[in-house]
Chain A
Amino acid sequence: MENKRGNVLTENLIFIILNIAFISIILIFVFTRMDNAATLEETYSKQIALMIDAAQPGTEIHLNMGDAFDRADKERYYNSAVSVENNVVNVKLSEGAGHDYSFFNNADVSVTEYREDKLVVIFIDPKE
């Protein structure tokens, strides 16, 4: 009788541990997919392009990119993350091409990164 009770306990323990392990693996997979560099690059390049499109000349945009810079640090990528050239925003958080997205606002756009503050400042000036 005592042996049977012991078996039931062990069975249930193994069952619970396997379930927890299974759920953990699924959660790790989901979170890895959620904040991978490619997703963040796409999100930020489109977000910045749309902000530039909607901005008036003389606007200064302060954008917190904490999660993107954290990801770039994990990827050991320490170069400039955001660049704007010829009406195209490029966001690059790892070695590779990054993600490009164009905007239609015909303005002079300059970008300054403050990596320690996890901040990107975008200046939109009228084209000379």
Chain B
Amino acid sequence: MDKTISVYWFVILFITAGAVAYMVVAFYGAPYDVRKIEAGVLRDAIAECLSNGGYLKEGIISNESKLFINSNNFFDNCSINFKTPDFAESVSTGGEYYVEVEIIGEGDKLDKGSFEVGNINLREFCSDELIEKGSRINPVCLKTSFYVLDSWNKKYILTISALVRKTEKNVQ
């Protein structure tokens, strides 16, 4: 009977049970962080809204390289809605999303256009420094640049930054 009722054996049992319980509660108690996926989907939705098959869509840019889409008509044109009624504090903080679009023309003269929508207080999290640093509790920002052509075959670099905050529901 020495083995079964040994104090040491019970100590080991309790330590093992405690460790397993702690790990399980920590793993299943923490929310699933889907912000990176969500930011990726948002970025792709904006890219699809502005371009198709490597070409800028009709009505995005004029022949003088003027950007027609802006913060006023972005939501209607891209069928996007940044309202988040599930975050009560969103009204005071300014929202859970931030998007910045920049288009730079290549050629004799450098044409440039940009706009931003969403919570501008989150803009700093889309800086290259903070994206590279990457913190679990910071909002997640994804930044992508790619080449597009307009209907006159003029080349542009389109940069899209898409940010999702939603910290309360994704980080413990």
Contact = CB atoms under 8 A, between A and B. Distances in A.
B86 A88 contact: yes
Given A14-B4, A33-B25, A127-B79, A102 B86 contact: yes
B85 A101 contact: no
Interface stretch (A42-50, A60-68, A110-118): A42-50
Contacts of A121: none
A126 interface: yes
Contacts of A30: 20, 24
B31 interface: yes
Contacts of A104: 42, 45, 80-82, 97
* Interface range on chain A (Cβ under 8 Å from partner): 20 to 34
B79 A53 contact: no
Interface centre among B21, B38, B75, B97, by most chain A C-beta atoms within 10 angstroms, is B38
Contacts of B81: 87, 104-106
Contacts of A36: 28
A104 B83 CA distance: 7
B45 A53 contact: yes
Nearest to B44: A54
A79 interface: no
Contact of A11 (B4, B17, B86, B87): B4
Interface residues of B, number: 34
B21 A50 contact: no
A102 B25 CA distance: 26
Interface in A1-48: 11, 14-15, 18, 22, 25-26, 29-30, 33-34, 36, 39, 42-43, 46
A49 B16 CA distance: 38
A93 interface: no
A43 B31 CA distance: 9
A99 to B, nearest CB: 8
Nearest to A104: B80
A70 interface: no
B140 to A, nearest CB: 14
A102 B87 contact: yes
11 contacts: A22-B13, A26-B17, A33-B25, A43-B32, A46-B32, A50-B34, A53-B38, A53-B41, A102-B96, A104-B82, A106-B80
